[in-house]
Amino acid sequence: MEDQNKNQNPENTQQQNKQVVNQPKKSNSGLIFLLFLLVILLGVVTWLYINQRNTTEEIQTVLTAEKDSLQTHLEQLKAEYDELMTDNDSINEQLNLEKKKIDNLIAELKTTKATNFTKIKQLEAELGTLREVAQSYVRQIDSLNTMNQALVAENIKVKNEITVFQTEKKELEEKNKDLTGKVEFASVLRTENLKAICINKRGKENNKINKIEKIKIDFTIKENVLAKQGERDIFVRIAGPDDYILAKSEDDLFEFEGKQIVFSAKRPIDFIGNDLEVTIYWDNNGALIPGKYEVYLFGDGAQIGTATFDIQESGWF
């Protein structure tokens, strides 16, 4: 029994030694596996970190560029508002208010971080609104310009029409003036067969200065349907060789061309448009002298006839 036990013990001891030798090998393998896992995990984490950092830098670059672009667009929009300024004070006031809004957005954008995605998007939305407002002003100004062009064209048309009207009016006035002058000229009394003769006491013609009793002026007022009908005075002026007007009184005056002038004799007539035979006498008052005399006939403020006669020196017959 003891020998058996002795024989068995060495075998057990040998197996135990093998187990003791095999245990450290298993522990080393596990440690190596853990280290391998840690290396792989660290590599993945490192890759994720680097990738995330690159992505963040790319996003930041994009956001910075978007911020810069937004500022550029705001400044361009402000310049567009400057170009929209017109002569209309009301529109200019509204445009200035919109420009102040743009200045406020630019100031706000400068204080906004590029990474503030939400704020930048908000500012972009406000930029879009300002662009729409600018477009509405463009349409409004275009409409006003169209209206102004239409008004200018209408104004030119009206001015041309006024010019034409004034020209036509002037021509018409000239024609009316000419026609009026012709009517007035045609309506003036006309005479014919005007003659002046010296007569003696017996009513016979005699040109001797010592025989003259009267000067007889005969004439015919011609038919004239345009002349004013009714009563009026016919005046006679007799001018001697010395140009002295034979007159009974210095108070015997009538109006001619805006002046009061003396007459030698006058006679009222009643003209009804038909031929009218008229005779006017001037009584000799001793103022006669030999020579050639001129007779002037007036009616309706106009000179309507002239004639001449001679007075000779004294004689028996």
Q: What is the DSSP string of 260-275?
A: EEE-SEEEEEEE-SS-
Do 122 and 46 belong to one domain? yes
In a domain, 284, yes or no: yes
Q: Where are the beta strands (DSSP E) in 167-240?
A: 191-199, 214-221, 230-239
CA separation for the pair 239, 264 (Å, rounded) = 9
CA separation for the pair 293, 28 (Å, rounded) = 172
Print the domain residue range for 81: 1-187
In a domain, 317, yes or no: no
Do 39 and 165 belong to one domain? yes
> Mean pLDDT of all residues in the chain?
80
Asked if 237 and 217 touch (Cβ cutoff 8 Å), the reply is: no
Confidence (pLDDT) at 72: 87
Buried b (16+ CB within 10 A) or exposed e, 257-284: eeeeebbbbeeebebeeeebebebebeb
pLDDT tens-digit series, residues 161-202: 778 867 877 876 777 666 555 555 566 788 999 999 999 999
Q: Is 70 helix (H, G, I), strand (E, B) or coil?
A: helix
In a domain, 139, yes or no: yes
Q: What are the helix (H) ranges across the chain?
A: 2-83, 89-110, 117-187
Do 159 and 203 belong to one domain? no
Among the candidates 168, 187, 206, a domain finishes at 187
Phi, psi of 242 (to 5 degrees): -90, 10
Work out how many domains the chain is built from and give that number. 2
CA separation for the pair 88, 91 (Å, rounded) = 6
Pairing of strands 291-299, 302-311: antiparallel
pLDDT tens-digit series, residues 125-168: 887 887 787 777 777 777 766 776 777 777 787 778 778 867 87
Q: What is the CATH number of the domain that holds 237?
A: 2.60.40.10
In a domain, 269, yes or no: yes
Q: In the Cβ-directed half-sphere of 34, how many Cα atoms lie within 13 Å?
A: 6
CA separation for the pair 225, 219 (Å, rounded) = 19
pTM above 0.85, yes or no: no
Do 47 and 91 belong to one domain? yes
Highest mean pLDDT among 19-23, 127-131, 148-152, 257-261: 257-261
Confidence (pLDDT) at 178: 60
Do 161 and 279 belong to one domain? no
